[in-house]
Structure 1
Amino acid sequence: MAIDLSGNKRKGALELPKTATGFDQVFHAVRARKPRYDGKLPTEPRWRSDFVLQDIKPPTLKLQDFGYEAGELNRGYGTIDETALAGPTQLLTPEGVVSLKGVCDKLEAYAGSSEFIVTRRVRGADLMSPFINNMIRDRNFLLACSRMVGVPLIPHPLRTPTVQINYFEGRSGDEREIAKWHRDGMDYVFTIQLNDASEYEGGRFKYFQGRTDDFDGVTESDERIKEAPCDDLGATLFIHGSHMYHAVTPVTSGRRVTFVLSLFCPYFSSQDSNTFWHLAGDDGILATIPNWLRLKWPTKNPSIDFSLRAGSPAITWSDLQ
């Protein structure tokens, strides 16, 4: 029998709550505040392009495996945008992972609290860290990510939610730090594990292998609830975040840190899944308005225009061959 965060027993219910919708989502947007940052990040290592591993061939699932029809998916340029999940796999060298971990550990001092999706996190980390900024705009890195998914990707033009670092400390009862059941506003989401599973208890990545519109009423015993075994330091998992409900079980002891990166396919820009209120629920209304207008502004050449906005090289279809 599962127990919710308030301690009430609910037969068969999911252990973790689902994110707010409707009026409650608007309420979160009104309360959200801009992250604090004083610009005094301690010295960090330099990003190197050779931190990226080559010839990554992770196991994959397609969105059709989640119940979506091919006709519902983005398509163009001879490609169907159908990758639902890829990995876990190693994307960075051991030295690259250790360097990223050191940077994210230092940024924990700027972590804010939230009741919307993830309890404690840093948003907009690439705006704070030159290492992270250079990493996610490195051509080798973007090519590796693009090849995992099968579509050209660049850093998301919405800067604040592009890089989020999640921090979980082992706690009990109502003070547990959680990632609720949710789907992302972003389509292309990569998570890099920054602790080995031997360092903590709990903290399991769960996902619902079904359509998002079939999630309501799902119970803990539903066979469609799966786990992605991200146990190793540096384990990297891609999910098509907007098409998949997912959550992280509470860490009951130890410490778990994850680096979450949202990328963007400029060729499918008109089909981007972001909604205003989903973004505002994390960042607040005033912070979201200028970002939202920037994302939705009409473009004549999306691949070039969005690459310039993101400050990154343009990745093309021919690069994926």
Structure 2
Amino acid sequence: MSTTSKGSGRAGALALPQAPDGFRKVLKALHARAPLRSARLPAEPPWRSRFVSTGAAGPVTSLQEFGYREEELWHWKGRADAAALAGPWRVLTDEGLDCLATVCGQLEVAAQDAGFTATRRLRAADLLSPFIARMIRDRDFLLVCSRLVGIPLIPHPLRLPTAQINYGEGRGRQGGVRWHRDGMDYVFTIQLSGYEDYEGGRFTYFRGRADEFPGPGREDSRFREADCGERGATLFLHGSRIFHAVTPVTKGRRVTLVISLFCPYFARQDSNTFWHLAADDGIAATVPGWLRLKWPVRNPAVDYGLRAGSPVITWDDLR
């Protein structure tokens, strides 16, 4: 699977608007609704570590290839945070993918319509789903993701944006995602539908620096479409540094799980801003997690791991 193919979705992506920014984020935050934290849901299948595809491998594109300079990368004792785009690859077995798709289908009853980036979604899915909560805190799962990207990763200590399910349908409702950069740095998107299930819904990104993004509707040879048409395909994106969008679903149904991970060693460089998060979840829901994220730490791997309810992942684990 190639991450640099150009496809028919490019024109549709260029026509998408850009997500609110600047003062518009503040206005959005004043009207944003916090995600649901409880709902009546059917029983889930249990999570099993055997659902992780430990042999996952795929191409990696560096931030330098997007135009970022070496001195702009984050470093920890000689190790660089250099991955911009990785995959697609499979991180779950067929059995695990089937269970995850079932869980995400059941969770749609708690989804909400939103006008920020995606149109219909469920934030904080791991707070409703024991399956998703255990999956993203499974040591084998985290090790696979960490080794593919080359840095130690754990679930983000900010719980509300850690796991989001996007639901796109071509039934009179736009199922696309506006042009935006993520507040999160390390974002993994798992496709729970394949191209055979829908039309449109193409993941498109700008292969260049964020400050060179030409804006929606303008032609540029650096727009790319990621080849994520296979059910189960997982794509990593350094979300805060890369503009990306998803074209509207014009027919059928597209479901994705978006997981935001966190590197404790680069916590001081974390790209999240308060107003980006509040624009998604509202001010009152954002404040508690934001304060926990900023508490001082002595041992990043341990302290942030505890805050995220995660196993400890260190540089030594990547060998």
TM-score range, shorter chain: over 0.9
Aligned equivalents of 2:171, 2:67: Cα separation in 1:
36
Match for residue 67 of structure 1?
67
Aligned equivalents of 1:186, 1:279: Cα separation in 2:
9
Quick check: 1:205–1:230 contact (8 Å CA) kept in 2? yes
Q: What amino acid is aligned across from residue 67 of structure 2 in structure 1?
A: G
The answer to whether the aligner puts 1:252 opposite 2:250 as a matched pair is: yes
Work out the number of aligned pairs and report it.
Answer: 309
State the TM-score, normalizing by the size of structure 2. Answer: 0.94
Q: Please, which moves more after superposition, 188-197 or 14-23?
A: 14-23
Quick check: 1:12–1:221 contact (8 Å CA) kept in 2? no
The answer to whether the aligner puts 1:110 opposite 2:110 as a matched pair is: yes
Quick check: 2:126–2:133 contact (8 Å CA) kept in 1? yes
Match for residue 209 of structure 1?
207
Aligned equivalents of 2:42, 2:256: Cα separation in 1:
20
- Which residue of 161, 179, 186 maps to 1:188? 186
Quick check: 2:120–2:168 contact (8 Å CA) kept in 1? yes
Quick check: 1:13–1:220 contact (8 Å CA) kept in 2? no
Aligned equivalents of 2:104, 2:191: Cα separation in 1:
11
For each residue in 1:203-244, what CA deviation from the matched residue of structure 2 results, as whole angstroms up to 9, or x when unmatched? Answer: 000000011111144645311000101011100000000000
Give the 3 Å change call, closer, same or farther, for CA 293–133 of structure 1 in structure 2: same
Give the 3 Å change call, closer, same or farther, for CA 254–262 of structure 1 in structure 2: same
Match for residue 283 of structure 1?
281
Match for residue 304 of structure 1?
302
Q: Does the residue aligned with 1:157 lie in a helix, a strand or coil?
A: coil
Query: Unaligned stretches of 5+ in structure 2?
Result: 1-10
Match for residue 131 of structure 2?
131
State the TM-score, normalizing by the size of structure 1. Answer: 0.93
Aligned equivalents of 1:260, 1:169: Cα separation in 2:
17
Quick check: 1:200–1:255 contact (8 Å CA) kept in 2? yes
Quick check: 2:16–2:216 contact (8 Å CA) kept in 1? no
Aligned equivalents of 2:85, 2:292: Cα separation in 1:
28
Match for residue 158 of structure 1?
158
Aligned equivalents of 1:264, 1:37: Cα separation in 2:
22
Aligned equivalents of 1:25, 1:309: Cα separation in 2:
27
Match for residue 7 of structure 1?
none
C-alpha displacement at 1:56, in angstroms? 2.1
Aligned equivalents of 2:12, 2:273: Cα separation in 1:
31
In the TM superposition, structure 1's runs of 4+ consecutive aligned residues that sit over 6 Å from their partners are none
Match for residue 39 of structure 1?
39
Quick check: 2:17–2:179 contact (8 Å CA) kept in 1? yes
